[in-house]
Structure 1
Amino acid sequence: MPSRRFKAIPTLITAALIIGLAGCEQKAPPQAPPPQVGVITMKKLTVPYTYEAVGQTAGYREIDVRARVDGILLKRVYTEGKPVKEGQTLFQIDPAPFKAALDQALGVQAQAKASLTKATADRDRIVPLFKENAVSKKDFDDANAAYDAAVANLAAATAKTDEARINLGYTTVVAPISGMASKINFSEGSLVSPTTNGGLLTTIVQLDPLYANFSFSEAEKLALDKAAQRGSITLPEGRSYQVSLKLADGSTFKHSGRIDFSDSKVDPATGTIKARAVIPNPEGDLLPGQFVRVVIDGAQLNNAMLIPQRAVVQFQADKAVMVLNDKNIVAPRVVQLGQERGNEFVVISGLKDGDRVIVDGVLKARPGQPVNPVQAGASAPAAAK
């Protein structure tokens, strides 16, 4: 009897294990539902076409203020680095030698006038006497010659006087334009002259308006022209482009301008074409020499599709997006992207009208797996991570 009891124990243990395993299989957790993702439906649009290039600001006019006579620089009248008005006195060169030269020229001119007066009187007396044959032909000719010489001497003396007066005026150096005056190149007491190295006193830059110089490549110009011929891009009438500037801190300058110059030749050294925009700068916030991003608007991109940047993933060496089929199954799609527009890319190829693209919850979407799509922006915050 005891031996039979012991033989039945393994049978009971085996039965208990089978029942336990069966109970575990019945308690297995249910399969997780498809993840929720936010999608957009692609459609063709007509959107503004913009072009950006690196540029640098420059003064509308940059004038070198130079000494036009030799002399000692007595004083500087303006404040360096501050605005000046056209006609405002900037420097005073010692006028004493030029006043003396003017006085001397005036004296010579007075003598020439007196000589002309005498020569005129002599001629006037000779003429009636010559008609009556009271004087010789030689006396008549001498009187006329003396008169002509006196006229010429007075003209020369007057010219010298004018020159002396002009040189005296040059001792007061005034601003030829309104703008921002730079620092002085010579201190008071220095000898200045009209020479190349000795005459540059300062520089005035007109800040309103201001130039923004930039360039674009030959390839970009050809691509734009071909796109315009195909009709994929509509250029503004008269190619009148509007220009805005992005500053170094990422902000946009409050005044916009226009392109006023595009070169008619390609620089063979760089393969680029120079261009220039005129930007209003009434407050003087922009200074010459600043590096900016020149943003050119005015053209339109036809039949364009835009996609948020967050929808784009790196797929090996290509850019790709996750699209859904009619059964909400995820599949990667390689795309070719164009220019950036804020937080969006322009899609050149790879997508068509009606395609549904995942933009929220991209990391949770697995190729070949189903998802639960909702309109982008309407999904729960957790689904957008």
Structure 2
Amino acid sequence: MMALLGAVSAYTGTAAAQGGPGGGPGGGQMPPPEVVVRAVQPKDMPLSYEFAGRVNGSREVEIRARVAGILLERTYTEGETVKQGDLLFLIDPAPYEAAVARAEAMVQQEQARLAQAEREWKRIASLFERNAVSARERDETLSTLELARATVAGARAELRTARINLDYTKVEAPISGVTSLEVLSEGSLVGTGMDNSLLTRITQLDPVYVNFAVPDAEMIALYNLMDSGALRMQSRDKIAVQVKLGSGVVHPQNGMVNFTDSSIDPQTGTIRMRASVPNPDKRLLPGQFVRIALQDIVLKDAIAVPQASVLQAAQGMMVYVVNAQSVAEPRPVRIGQALGSEWVIREGLKPGDRVVTEGMIKVRPGAPVKVVEPAQAANQASGKAAAGQGNR
């Protein structure tokens, strides 16, 4: 683009040295340069926002032993998909079966003591009504009854604990997902601590999460467009996404953004976001790097011009606009997003403006131009090229 400006400056300087438009060798008037223009009109344009992302399982859980013992059996195949509630491991249940039997016996024993205390209470209460026993003896009997009831409740609680521990010897899948390698092999002694209780991991792959980060300036600009009503989309909280693999292949299912951080990362200046993406065929795997594109965001009544027609001037970006008198006028513009081969123009152009799209190198500010059709300009360029070859 700078080379194009240099060419424009060189052309302007040469023309001035030759006496301006009429400064040709023969003193004749040089014809105005031929240009192709486009009359810009507002139209709805889909915006493209694409970012780097990384895939994670929607749920990743560690499967840990909740009771200690010898690991008797692994009942799943490593790497296969399991369903919630499937049996994964079996820890030796014998000690816990014995604990349940002992707790059941304690419950029966305490229930027998409670029955004896109830019979004794009925007898003493009847005697107390006939003034046959003292109040102290009555109170002691009542206390014995209440203590027996509490002891039975404690024994029943111990029985529930023993049964729970027995159930924990069967390690089941808490979620549906794909299993990883076993950490401890059959025959190992497992515990309940952080260093000896991990058995395996399960990752849920349908759906998966794709984590990505959006530059704060870009996100704020998008929110400003939303608030101004310039965009057509579902809502700020419902943004569809498309996932592209590293090979460029597009994932067949679109997802939805389900999390946007409420703060900006001070180290990177980005806002963390997360999308939930259906993954029934398990094509997306945790740790995979992908490109994620926001979908269904349309800029209403947008004005766009070819990127080649936008020039870099000392004061910023500009285009040449041909007025009703066929004079080229430089027009400062503020560009927005690049969409394909076009720039979205935020400011500087209005509907109906004729922007020069071809022949900018021959245009001088404030000089007349000749507007031609694209096909005519191409034919004339081909003719000049052929004439040049003939002169050789």
In the superposition, the TM-score normalised over structure 2's length comes to 0.73
Shift of 1:222: 2.8
Residues 155-188 of structure 1, C-alpha deviation per residue, up to 9 Å, x if partnerless? 1111111111100110000011111122211111
Is 1:367–2:362 an aligned residue pair?
yes
For 1:355, the equivalent position in structure 2 comes to 355
Check the 8 A contact 2:323/2:354 in 1, yes or no. Answer: no
SS of 1:251's partner is coil
* In 2: Cα distance, 1:330 partner to 1:72 partner: 88
Q: Structure 1 residues 178, 107: closer, same or farther in 2, change over 3 A?
A: same
Deviations 1:325-365 (A, max 9, x none): 9999999999875434345543557877332524xxx9xx9
Counterpart residue number, 1:141: 139
Which residue of 1 is the match for residue 248 of structure 2? 250
SS of aligned partner of 2:362 = coil
1: CA distance, partners of 2:77 / 2:328: 70
Q: Distance in 2 between matches of 1:238 and 1:322?
A: 37
CA drift of 1:66 comes to 0.9
SS of corresponding position for 1:248: coil
Q: Deviations over 1:47-102 (max 9, x none)?
A: 12231121112222222211101111111111111111111001111111111111
Mark the runs of 5 or more structure 1 residues left unpaired by the alignment.
1-35
Report the AA paired with residue 374 of structure 1: P
What's 2:102 paired with? Answer: 104
1:336–1:291: structure 2 CA closer, same or farther, 3 Å change rule? farther
Q: Structure 1 residues 145-154 or 216-225, which shifts more?
A: 216-225
Computing the radius of gyration over CA atoms, which structure comes out larger, 1 or 2? 1
Query: 1:294 — aligned with what?
Result: 292
> Would you say the 8 A contact 2:321–2:354 is kept in 1?
no
- Which residue is 1:208 aligned to? 206
Whole-angstrom distance in 2 between the partners of 1:264 and 1:366: 49
Instruction: Name the CA shift for 1:111/1:254 in 2 (closer, same or farther; >3 Å).
Output: same
Counting only pairs closer than 5 Å after superposition, residues 252-331 of structure 1 correspond to structure 2 as 252-307=250-305, 311=308
Query: TM-score, with normalisation over the residues of structure 1?
Result: 0.75
Change (3 A) 1:143 1:227: closer
**CA 1:345–1:75 in 2, change beyond 3 Å: closer, same or farther?**
farther
Q: Distance in 1 between matches of 2:181 and 2:331?
A: 61
Number of residue pairs the alignment of both structures matches: 342
Q: Residues 226, 151 of structure 1: CA spacing in aligned structure 2 closer, same or farther, 3 A cutoff?
A: closer
Give the whole-Å Cα distance in 2 for the aligned partners of 1:322 and 1:184.
69
Match in the other structure for 1:217 = 215
Between the aligned partners of 1:254 and 1:85, the Cα distance in structure 2 is 25
Q: State the match for 2:191 in structure 1.
A: 193
Alignment match, 2:85: 87
What's the CA shift for 1:312? Answer: 7.1
Q: 1:341 to 1:80 in 2, by over 3 A?
A: farther
Cα distance change of structure 1 residues 230 and 69 upon mapping to structure 2, 3 Å threshold: closer
- 8 Å CA contact 1:328–1:372 kept in 2: the answer is no
CA spacing shift, 1:316–1:187, aligned 2, 3 Å: farther
Rounded to whole Å, the distance in 1 between the matches of 2:79 and 2:45 is 44
* 1:171 counterpart residue number: 169
Structure 2 counterpart of 1:67, which letter? A
The residue type equivalent to 1:240 in the other structure is K
* Structure-1 residue corresponding to 2:24: none
- Identity among equivalent pairs (%): 41
Structure 2 CA distance for aligned equivalents of residues 93 and 319 of structure 1? 72
The residue type paired with residue 124 of structure 1 is K
CA contact (8 A) 1:330 1:367 kept: no
Q: 1:322 to 1:202 in 2, by over 3 A?
A: farther
| 1:284-314, Cα deviation, whole Å (9 max, x unpaired) | 32222221212112332234344566x5799
Specify whether residues 138 and 233 from structure 1 end up closer, same or farther in structure 2 by C-alpha distance, changes over 3 A only. closer
Alignment equivalent of 1:57, drawn from 55, 58, 65 = 55
The 1-side partners of 2:40 and 2:49 are apart by 23
Which amino acid is 1:84 matched to? V
The CA deviation at 1:232 is 4.6
Q: CA offset at residue 255 of structure 1?
A: 1.0
Please provide the CA RMSD for this pair.
Answer: 3.8
Q: Relative to 1, partners in 2 of residues 1:241 and 1:115: Cα closer, same or farther, differing over 3 Å? A: same
Q: 3-state SS of the aligned residue for 2:175?
A: coil
CA 1:340/1:251 → structure 2, altered by over 3 Å: closer, same or farther?
Answer: farther
The amino acid across from 1:116 in the alignment is L
CA distance in 1, matches of 2:80, 2:237: 38
Distance 1:171 1:228, change over 3 A: closer
For residue 355 of structure 1, give the secondary structure of its aligned residue in structure 2. strand
CA contact (8 A) 1:50 1:298 kept: no
The alpha-carbon distance between structure 1 residues 312 and 192, as it changes in their structure 2 partners (threshold 3 A), is farther
